[in-house]
Amino acid sequence: MSLASIVFRDAPGASDATRVRVRAAAERIGYRPDSRARWLRRAQSGLIGVVFNVRQQFHAGLVEGLYQAAETMPDIDLALAAVYPGRDDARAAEGLLRERCEALIMIGPFIPTGRIARLAQEVPVVVVARALRAPSVDRVRVDDRRGCALAVDHLVSLGHTRIAHVDGGDAPGAAERRRGYLQRMRAHGLEEFADVIGGGATAHDGAVAGRVLLQREPRPTAVAVFNDLAAIGLMNWLGFHGVRAPEAVSITGFDDTAEAAGATVPLTSVSQELELMTSTALTRAVDRARGRCEPGEVVIEPRLVVRDSCAPYSGSGD
Amino acid sequence: MSLASIVFRDAPGASDATRVRVRAAAERIGYRPDSRARWLRRAQSGLIGVVFNVRQQFHAGLVEGLYQAAETMPDIDLALAAVYPGRDDARAAEGLLRERCEALIMIGPFIPTGRIARLAQEVPVVVVARALRAPSVDRVRVDDRRGCALAVDHLVSLGHTRIAHVDGGDAPGAAERRRGYLQRMRAHGLEEFADVIGGGATAHDGAVAGRVLLQREPRPTAVAVFNDLAAIGLMNWLGFHGVRAPEAVSITGFDDTAEAAGATVPLTSVSQELELMTSTALTRAVDRARGRCEPGEVVIEPRLVVRDSCAPYSGSGD
DNA sequence: CTGAAAGCGCTAACAT
DNA sequence: ATGTTAGCGCTTTCAG
């Protein structure tokens, strides 16, 4: 019995011949190790819980990255828990705690800091893609402020001055990005042109912001948007109403999702470096679970991915 | 010890006073039942595995519905396994089998029928949103053919005759929808106008199809698209190039996702009746696991949700 | 209605 | 290098 265990765990203590023999026998009788029993018995279950919002396609890329990172770590399994309107991050986390996950990775959680901090008292928590004032929880995030600054710099370098920002409302990261935009406009001496338009995280939010933008007089010639989805919504709504990117308006997104590359006009976007973020998050989760490190913050440097949605300022304005 | 078990399972055998007392004590010492141990011990674990594609937002709605359905069933838990390019449905299912799920719900699986049938020999499998010739697996799906027929009928009733179809390539359901389109065009005596344009399941696929569409001479005045995402991609691409819905072209989608309602022009779409589909799928999964029914197919009647993306044929053509 | 004992399938620490 | 044994935290069965 322990022999099978040794073989399936790839643990030392069996000859190669035996391994082959055992695996063949298992194949014949249709044996498959029981992960529940495994998790239950092991001192360190190796189970890492992942809380994500099933409606946010940006989270999809992160979940993917976490799976890939987990594959490189033997004995680490992922347990997924979905968040959606009607089931918040805390509820999802609760289910994972019952499964005795060693650590929790929460992607862009919406619940207040206090509730996350309380969770962190029970289990190591790594928050991804959201800034947080909570020393007891790990944070892995891109420098949102810097990301928005990169976008502004890019637009300024193209000659734009009337650069607006469509923000993300109360979405994770929105406040930081708004701040980055404002700071950078000021740094360029463009504070008089600073214009923050209320938005959100969905394409629909972007479209709604488009309506507002069209009514501005004079109209901004460039827009740095909270995320790709809203940027695409904005771009399409404007295009639909005759204001096309990049000729009539330059637009930047954020997240560098697959959608950005495949948009009607491929979207210039700020990349969060998904792979780096996910492998860092998982490594930290495991290290924290094993008591190998203290909670802290890892801030990742964003990178601007230039595509076709921005053009030099033409001077003709609108 | 058994007392706690009785209380937490809401099983008979304890007075109300005791229940309160036990729960209070649990609260005080921070006790939380261990689901791993529970699953391991129980004869019927109540664990249902869900295989979904994390990149397909249409799956998100189904996952949501499954969670909601599971909440109404005591003792039923969901285990999620994500599929993405590089991790196919079979791989995801394998992980769930190790967890000894009692049944598997696979959402729009991409792998061949044969592999699904093989899985179904090991565990009851319910396939959602994909037609399948495999009597040993349960199927819960909308009548794709009829759904496309509804879209065609709607466009015909608005006076359109040059109605094209942007198909879904090799995506689950695409073949059926294509067939439904062709059959219905024939039924209306419009076979000479039938025009199937190669597409896919993403917004980008829709945009690419838009380019093809613009080159058709004469140009179709209406398009029934494989799904909402591609329809939105198509609509935005055409709008961007001056061909606006619904004035210049009428467009229908499929799936009635949240994106359809929030599109630049709210999209008329064929609804798959998510809630009915998910509650049916989960009920069948549990029933099959408990041996309470035989595998079979449940075909759900689609429903057309009319929004603003279609208009009467103007006669002016393009 | 409440407590004690057995055992789910595995792993870890032993003995052979 | 291989076999034996105890026990992870629960549920189930049986006594009290």
Structure-block tokens of residue B108: 């729009």
A317: left (phi over 0), alpha (psi -120 to 50) or beta: left
Is residue A15's beta carbon less than 7 angstroms from any atom in nucleic acid strand D? yes
- Pair B211, B154: CB distance under 8 Å: no
What pLDDT score was predicted for residue B146? Answer: 98
The reported pLDDT for the residue numbered B2 is 81
Residue B26 CB closer than 7 angstroms to strand D? no
Grouping H, G, I as helix, E, B as strand and the rest as coil, residue A191 is helix
CA distance A224 to A193: 13
End-to-end distance of chain A based on CA atoms, in angstroms?
76
The CATH architecture one would assign to domain A40-143+273-301 is: 3-Layer(aba) Sandwich (3.40)
Measure CB to CB from residue A264 to each of B35, B82, B237 and give the nearest one.
B237
Nearest nucleotide (CA of A34 to C1'): C9
Give B7's contacts (C-beta < 8 A, 6+ positions apart): B14, B18, B19, B22, B23
Which residues of A are less than 8 Å from B67 in CB distance? Answer: 82, 84, 87
Q: At residue B41, what is the residue type?
A: R
Strand, helix or coil at A39? Answer: helix
The CA–CA distances, whole Å, from A119 to A18, A59, A106 equal 45, 21, 11
Give the C-alpha separation, B213 to B166, whole Å.
Answer: 9
A1 touches strand D (CB under 7 A): yes
Q: Closest Cα of chain B to A207: distance in Å?
A: 6
Q: Helix (H, G, I), strand (E, B), or coil: what is residue B54?
A: coil
Whole-angstrom distance, CA of residue A176 vs CA of residue A167: 10
Tokens coding A234: 């904005």
User: Shortest Cα distance from A212 to chain B (angstroms)?
Assistant: 14
Interface test with A, best of B32, B42, B53, B54 (most A CBs within 10 A): B54
3-class SS at A205?
A: helix
Residues with CB under 7 A from strand C: A 1-2, 4-5, 8-9, 11, 31-34, 37-38, 40-43; B 1-3, 6, 12-15, 17-18, 37, 40-41
CA neighbor of B187 nearest in space, from B222, B215, B221, B150: B150
Q: How far is CA B196 from CA A172, A175, A265, B172, B224, in A?
A: 42, 46, 25, 17, 10
Burial of A305: CB neighbours in 10 Å, binned 0-12, 13-18, 19+: middle
Report d(CA B287, CA B291) in Å as an integer: 6
Residues of chain B falling short of pLDDT 50: 317-318
Q: Where in chain A is the domain with CATH 3.40.50.2300?
A: 40-143+273-301, 144-271
What's the Å distance between residue B119 CA and nucleotide D9 C1'?
31
B144-271 fold: Rossmann fold (3.40.50)
Residues 6+ apart with CB under 8 A from A231: A166, A206, A223, A225, A251, A252, A253, A254, A260, A267, A269, A309
How far is it, in rounded angstroms, from Cα A149 to Cα B79?
A: 41
Which DSSP helix (H) or strand (E) runs through B107? strand B103-107
CA distance A267 to A223: 12
Give phi and psi for B98, each to the nearest 5: -65, -30
Provide the 10 A C-beta neighbour count for residue A15: 8
The per-residue pLDDT for range B35-72, each reduced to its tens digit, is: 999 999 998 999 999 999 999 889 999 999 999 999 99
Here the tokens at position A100 are 């005795």
Q: What is the pLDDT of residue A169?
A: 96
For testing contact with chain A, the best of B67, B83, B267 (most A CBs within 10 A): B67
What is d(CA B252, CA B98) in angstroms, rounded to the nearest whole number?
42
Chain A residues within 8 A of B49 when measuring between CB atoms: none
Contact flag A265-B240 (C-beta cutoff 8 Å): yes
DSSP codes, B133-177: --TTSEEEEE-HHHHHHHHHHHHHHTT---EEEE--TTSTTHHHH
Asked if A203's CB is within 8 angstroms of B259's CB, the reply is yes
Q: How many beta carbons lie within 10 A of that of residue A23, not counting itself?
A: 14
User: Which residues does chain A have with pLDDT short of 50?
Assistant: 317-318
A85-92: long-range contacts (C-beta < 8 A, 24 or more apart)? A85/A55, A86/B64, A86/B68, A87/B67, A89/A51, A89/A115, A89/A116, A90/A115, A90/A119, A92/A51
